[in-house]
Amino acid sequence: MTRKVLLPRKIDRKLDNLTGLVEEINGILLYRRQGDYCPIEALFMTGVGSMDHVQAQSDRMEVANEFFSRNPDYQFVKFHTHSKGTIERFGEYYARHFSRGDIDGIKEQLQYNRNFMAMLVTPEIKLLSGIDNPKLVIVNDFSRYKSRSQAVNQSLKAIAENLGYDISKFQATRR
């Protein structure tokens, strides 16, 4: 059965805003699967990079990994952007397509995790990739979204503080 990723409009707008940066951004969209539905509860940025490459920061990955170890019922959609800067530098093709490197990375992840999903966010489109060709559904919100989102974000912040990290600072350049 095809999974349906339910993306709240508030997070959808945050993702759209990220494509206006010069650099590419990556991160994870956290959810607890409910049958075929994957309602996104939170967005957690893990890296900022150049117009042609972005890599997750080790402190942010440590926070995310600790979150998943404490909350094993959570899964994620790994996202990254092709920013306006990326598209201007490398061409319009990247406004609507995963790069060859993206596709190779997705294939590799699927070898280890058949539930893996990736999302590309550009100024023009959001693309999902996964073994079952998942579908993206933008929703205003869903039952208990606000309380779940707040709880996830508070948990991530508390984990970061306990590990000695300040995750409130994340530097990128606005176009």
Q: Read off the pLDDT of residues 71-130 as tens digits, 9 standing for 90 and up.
A: 999 999 999 999 888 888 888 999 999 999 999 999 999 999 999 999 999 999 999 999
Got the DSSP string for the chain? ---EEEEEHHHHHHHHHHTTBSS-EEEEEEE--BTTEEEEEEEEEEEE--SS-----HHHHHHHHHHHHH-TT-EEEEEEE--HHHHHHH-GGGGTS--HHHHHHHHHHHHH-TT-EEEEE-SS-EEEEETT--EEEEES--TTHHHHHHHHHHHHHHHHHHHT--TT-----B-
In a domain, residue 170? The reply is: no
In a domain, residue 175? The reply is: no
In a domain, residue 101? The reply is: yes
Average pLDDT over residues 46-56: 83
Residue-level pLDDT at 170: 57
In a domain, residue 169? The reply is: no
In a domain, residue 102? The reply is: yes
In a domain, residue 173? The reply is: no
Q: Read off the pLDDT of residues 138-174 as tens digits, 9 standing for 90 and up.
A: 999 888 899 999 999 999 999 999 999 888 765 544 5
Residue-level pLDDT at 55: 86
**Domain limits for position 105:** 4-163
Query: What's 156's domain CATH number?
Result: 3.40.140.10
In a domain, residue 15? The reply is: yes
Residue-level pLDDT at 79: 97
